Amino acid sequence: MAEENEIQHLRYDPAEIEPKWQRIWRDEKTWHVSNKPDERAKSYVLEMLPYPSGEPHMGHLKVYSVGDALAHYRRRRGMRVLHPMGYDSFGLPAENFAIKTGRHPRESTEAAIAEFRRQFETWGISIDWDREFGTHQPTYYRWTQWIFLKLFEAGLAYQKEAAVNWCPNDQTVLANEQVVDGACERCGAAVEIKQLKQWFFKITEYAERLLDDFAKLESWPDNVITMQRNWIGRSEGAEVVFRCEEMGIDYPVFTTRPDTLFGATFFVMAPEHPDVLRLVEGTEQEAAVRDYVNAAARKSKEERGSDDKEKSGVPLGRSVVNPVNGEPIPMYVSDYVLMEYGTGAIMAVPAHDQRDYEFANKYGVEIRQVIAPAGDDGTPVDIAGDLARAAYVSSTESDVLVNSGDFSGKSSVDAKREITGWLAADGRGNATVNYKLRDWLVSRQRYWGCPIPVVHCPSCGTVAVPEARLPVELPDVDDYVPKGKSPLAAATDWVNVTCPECKGPAERETDTMDTFVDSSWYFMRYTDARNDREAWHRAVLNEWMPVDNYIGGVEHAILHLMYARFFTKALHDLGLVGAVEPFKNLFTQGMITRDGAKMSKSKGNVISPSSYVERYGADTARCYILFIGPPDQDADWADEGVEGVHRFLARLWRLGVEVSRRAENASGVLAPGDSADALGESALAVSRKAHWAIDKVTGDMVGRFAFNTAIAAVMELVNEIYKHKDALYQGAAEDHAALRFATATAASLLFPFAPHLGAEVYEMLGGERVWEVNWPTADQSFLAADTITLIVQVNGKVRDKIEASADAGQDDLIALARASERVSAHVEGKETVKEIVVPGKLVNLVVR
RNA sequence: GCGGAUGUGGCGGAAUUGGUAGACGCGCUGGCCUUAGGAGCCAGUGGGCGAAAGCUCGUGGGGGUUCAAGUCCCUCCAUCCGCACCA
């Protein structure tokens, strides 16, 4: 007993255990994986690339706790696991910090990387550090530039002047995806629209395949797919040509409702439409239109974008001809028409489009009904009363056309097809598909990014920098303050070059790339990260790709995940990549909140992983973050919960120490005897529980990431061992063996979540390294119990629970149920209507 | 407005196929051990009535299907998240 007391007072000290294992893993490069294939199946487990700034936050702790558990589990299931790490180290925050402090972004970024790496090592995550890189390193961005040139050669990277989003605060353009509610995603400033010449990637060319290939994904959260689908915004319809006879110009418009063409009573152009001013030049409308266009240009996206805003517009004094009936209809300019969607001009059908309806009402344009709902007999229903209040927009199967010439009486569905076909035959239109998706604007007027590897030559135009001269290195500058053009423009020594083609004087492109470009291919570079002759060796890349499990936050549902899909497809088409989709399975982890709210500096509720890792150890922090709830859901961090998990780990550690010292009649961790029969009651109980836990944890790991219930199962196992350990210490060799087996199993099962403690306790008991031991398998003979607890219900209410033999037949179970006093009290004197038996589980007697 | 998700004890959450609601943990209560303990170990813990046995109510509200519903169907409510003049 003296020994028992002594053990009780031993202290679980992660500060000693954790560095010990981390040293072994680092020195032995335990998690390094070779690119040489072997008989093992590959598995590529990847968490989203971290942006290194300050120190890692709780979101990082969560994502790596999830990913690392999976990586460990896969390795011990005999797989060859690629689990790398890197840093998304170009970007605005580092540059803004540089502006404030004068410190070079490279310095602050590399300091942050060092801190991230240091902390990741203290977390004990199983990373192949030989593949580590930062996207800001010339050895990396050389290949970002190379990919840019490949896209440029293929015509997928191009320059155009366009109305683009401009953030006045960050002094740079933004991609559509980076504008949220009309504001800059990063700094929140109201975004302006500017006409600028910019670089784009032709993601629109891949719109259809980005949609189709959702079918090729194994498991992605539905909400992410839905968000991408909405963002791509595919709609089927027709392009219909309206001719302006006075000017002799054809104006095509896109419509999803060609069946409403007979109801088009006016025509509207976006203020940015290049022909608007030309149409009114020299007319009495010119001044009014010019004012309207200028006012629209000054408005922020937000001001223009709200749908509750009252419609406004100005007549152009011109008309176009409705191709279905030859009727001239008036033209207007209005900011409710968007230049970036469709053709920047619309046909307006006020009776059947709410926006057109509001405009027509305000400016007194005719509202002509051409669609009506059909009654039960198929004839049009009178909805004149409804139309006095709002447009009739519904497009049900049963709608029919009215006031539509030869098409009157036809169904809406048929009319769409027939009218489109009729117009197409005359060259006045055709069926088309339109997308909301815009091309990806990738140039940024900022310093801390990957230089765009092209040269502008007065005689040769835009010329690619030859591959052999990559990387185009980012030069040092003194002043990072953006002035509407890239700070790189001031580095004149760097800007002025000779044209690679004519050798004449030329200038480098001074814009840098959006950092989302850097992160659109990093998962490919990991496969061959030290290759300095090419971005990757094709065979190596194809061996690892696609990523089997990609884990990260849902905030990247559209941006990063869609860009990465696009890159993979484009590079596939160029014959550079075998995979068509980069991420076979996607897991989006929920946020860690504090007091129910998102952590933020302004709320002052930010807690950092490092304080918990220092106080309780990494194993506690990692287990807690997994135990708190299902990893795909948001979870609120509670310090009491951390204490609880820490207590559990300490309990297991003490158990390990005690069992290794006191269960000395057996050694090793082998399971006792083949059969459960040979064991005493306690030995059988802990063995059973151990096999049950193996089965439970394995089930929770496969297919779903139910780490919370997996950890709970190990807790149950430990509780069971505690209950029986004193009896077992008194016992014989097989009792000690059972105790060792059960305790080692707990350590083994916990290893993916608490790798240091798992390794420590396993070593105490078996002397082996747990990660070199296969994942345990449950012995079925220990899972099947001889007895079951029979639930006896009367009229669906539980009245008794009876121990019954597992192989009892239906009649036996009913007899057993009826024999119960508690049951008979409810059955006595009543007629039995039905007897339901669920074998091995339950009997329900239905009485009246 | 459109689309999606969620709703279970005092709290975080379990319940994999319709079959014991509340596993596991926190908190709380009691006991043991201890010079002491904010350490450790053991036990109890959804609400109501009851000394107990037991009865009864109970998974956001209402309705339904079923021998049986947290789970399936209808409907309403609340919260959160996307999208939002996309023709």
pLDDT, tens digit, for every residue of A787-797? 788 888 888 88
ipTM of this complex prediction, to 2 decimal places: 0.94
Hey, what are A610's tokens? 């490092």
**Distance CA A806 to C1' B46 in A:** 31
> Residue A795's pLDDT is what?
86
The number of angstroms, rounded, from the C-alpha of A39 to the middle of its chain's C-alpha atoms is 32
> Residue A670's pLDDT is what?
62
The answer to whether the beta carbons of residues A126 and A755 sit under 8 Å apart is yes
Range name among A648-657, A743-752, A830-839 with the lowest pLDDT average? A830-839
- Judge whether residue A225 contacts strand B, using its CB and a 7 Å cut-off: no
Nearest to A312 by CA among A294, A332, A329, A283: A332
What is the rounded distance in angstroms from the CA atom of residue A294 to the CA atom of residue A280?
14
**Distance CA A449 to C1' B14 in A:** 48
| In the predicted structure, residue A484 carries a pLDDT above the cut 80 | no
Contact partners, residue A504, CB within 8 Å, separation at least 6: A457, A458, A459, A460, A498
| In the predicted structure, residue A4 carries a pLDDT above the cut 70 | no
Amino acid identity for residue A766 in this structure? G
Range name among A150-154, A363-367, A513-517, A792-796 with the lowest pLDDT average? A792-796
Name the residues in A679-708 having a C-beta closer than 7 Å to nucleic acid strand B: 696, 699-700, 706, 708
CA A178-A181-A436 angle, to 5 degrees, is 65
> Residue A1's pLDDT is what?
42
CA of A344: nucleotide with nearest C1':
B87
Q: What percent of chain A has pLDDT over 90?
A: 66
pLDDT, tens digit, for every residue of A440-457? 999 998 899 999 999 999
- Judge whether residue A647 contacts strand B, using its CB and a 7 Å cut-off: yes
Orientation angle between helical segments A639-662 and A618-627, nearest 10 degrees: 120
- Judge whether residue A789 contacts strand B, using its CB and a 7 Å cut-off: yes
A411-450 b/e (C-beta count within 10 Å ≥ 16 → b):
bbeebbebbbebbeeeebbeebebbbbbbbbbbbbbbbbb
> Residue A520's pLDDT is what?
96
pLDDT, tens digit, for every residue of A330-353? 999 999 999 889 999 999 999 999
- The 3-class secondary structure across A113-156, one letter per residue, is HHHHHHHHHHHCCCCCHHHCEECCCHHHHHHHHHHHHHHHHCCC
**DSSP string for A261-278:** GGG--EEEE-TT-TTHHH
Contact partners, residue A703, CB within 8 Å, separation at least 6: none
Nearest to A286 by CA among A300, A276, A298, A296: A276
User: What is the edge-to-edge ordering of all strands in the sheet holding A547-553?
Assistant: A80-82, A42-47, A547-553, A583-589
- Judge whether residue A197 contacts strand B, using its CB and a 7 Å cut-off: no
| In the predicted structure, residue A9 carries a pLDDT above the cut 70 | no
CA A631-A635-A636 angle, to 5 degrees, is 155
Nucleotides of B under 7 A from a protein CB: 3-5, 11-16, 19-21, 23-27, 39-43, 54-56, 67-69, 81-87
The pLDDT-based confidence of A405 (bands split at 50, 70, 90) is very high
> Residue A798's pLDDT is what?
87
**Distance CA A223 to C1' B81 in A:** 10
Bridge partners of residue A372, in order along the sequence: A400
Orientation angle between helical segments A58-76 and A681-701, nearest 10 degrees: 110
Contact partners, residue A419, CB within 8 Å, separation at least 6: A238, A258, A259, A261, A324, A407
Name the residues in A307-336 having a C-beta closer than 7 Å to nucleic acid strand B: 307, 309, 311, 335-336
Strand, helix or coil for residue A828: coil
**Distance CA A784 to C1' B5 in A:** 38
Read off the pTM.
Answer: 0.93
Q: What DSSP element (H or E) covers A762?
A: helix A755-766
Orientation angle between helical segments A755-766 and A639-662, nearest 10 degrees: 10
pLDDT, tens digit, for every residue of A137-167? 999 999 999 999 999 999 999 999 877 888 8
Cβ-count burial of A843 within 10 angstroms (0-12 exposed, 13-18 middle, 19+ buried)?
A: buried
- Judge whether residue A839 contacts strand B, using its CB and a 7 Å cut-off: no
For residue A15, give Cα distances in angstroms to A65, A613, A739, A751, A763.
Answer: 19, 9, 27, 17, 18
**Distance CA A647 to C1' B39 in A:** 11
Overall average pLDDT of the A347-371 stretch: 93
Instruction: Break chain A down into helix, strand, coil percent, rounded to 5.
Output: 45, 20, 35
The answer to whether the beta carbons of residues A783 and A694 sit under 8 Å apart is no
